[in-house]
Amino acid sequence: MMDNAVVELCNRLGRFPTTKETADYMDITMEKYQETLGKTNVYSVISLDMVLEAGSDDKKSMQLPSMSEHDQPENHYLQKEFKEILVSAINDLKENEQKVISLYYMDELNMREIAQIMKVSEPRISQIHSNALQKLRLNLTNFINE
CATH code, 6: 1.10.10
**How many angstroms separate the CA atoms of 121 and 125, rounded?**
7
> Is there a single domain that holds both residue 81 and residue 132?
yes
Asked if residues 22 and 6 have their Cβ atoms less than 8 Å apart, the reply is yes
Domain count of the fold of the chain: 2
Most confident of 32-46, 48-62, 88-102: 88-102
> Is there a single domain that holds both residue 16 and residue 59?
yes
> Is there a single domain that holds both residue 90 and residue 128?
yes
- Whole-prediction pTM: 0.50
The region of weakest confidence among 10-14, 35-39, 57-61, 125-129 is: 57-61
Last residue of a domain, one of 63, 81, 103: 63
> Is there a single domain that holds both residue 88 and residue 132?
yes
For the stretch 86-145, pLDDT in tens is 888 899 999 999 999 999 989 999 999 999 999 999 999 999 999 999 999 888 887 777
Q: How confident is the model at residue 66, as a pLDDT?
A: 58
Domain ranges, residue 97: 71-145
